[in-house]
Amino acid sequence: MSQLLELSPLIVFLVAFELLGIYWATASLMAACLLVLLIHRMSTGKFKTMHVITAAVVVILGSATLLLRDVRFIQWKPTVLLALTAAAFLGSLRIGKQPLVRRMFEGVFDEPLAVSSRAWLVINCLWAAWFAALAVANIYVARNFTESTWVHFKVYGITPATMIFMLPQVLWLSSKAKGPAGSPSPSEPSGS
């Protein structure tokens, strides 16, 4: 249910674009982002930082798109958010006790991960570079291809590409998960 909530603005944007065009899609995206923000707040009692940032960027750039009738503003939305995400990964090297990628992945696994600080640093920098590259790719596609191609790149390109980028890392980290105390990890023989 949580994943569906996270993806709902993207789905709403695509459906509205296909049925009604970019301006209706932009307005629908603005409404969907604000709705996700409120639903999360009502269900958890707090705002999720990423929802707040996304809603703010979408409302500002979406309003500019609608008021000026210029799609370039909404086309910058993924680039702004991806660049902010890259900056957050880089900033986490100086701010906080652990790189952002470590906090992100350790929150997913139930068991502790046997990964060196250096490996976390490398993975964190890979994520920063990944998001920076996607930010550039978004603007490249927006400037050099049709509006429809950009929308489909945004929906079918960025999110699936990020999942494919993450998959080998999740598999590798799974092999680094330590089982409960006293039980062998998956990579250790049981000693029979």
Residue 38's pLDDT is 93
pLDDT at 188: 45
pLDDT of residue 112: 79
Q: What pLDDT score was predicted for residue 189?
A: 44
10-residue averages of pLDDT along the chain (192 residues): 83 96 97 94 90 93 96 95 95 89 84 86 94 97 96 93 92 77 44 38
Task: Establish how many alpha carbons lie within 13 A of residue 58's alpha carbon, considering only the half-sphere containing its beta carbon.
Answer: 23
CB 93 within 8 A of CB 99: yes
* Nearest-angstrom CA–CA distance, 40 and 107: 19
Which pLDDT value is given to residue 114? 86
Q: What is the pLDDT of residue 174?
A: 85
Q: Enter the pTM of the model.
A: 0.82
As beta bridge partners, residue 44 has: none
Write down the H helix ranges in the chain: 2-20, 22-44, 49-68, 72-91, 100-106, 117-144, 147-153, 159-175
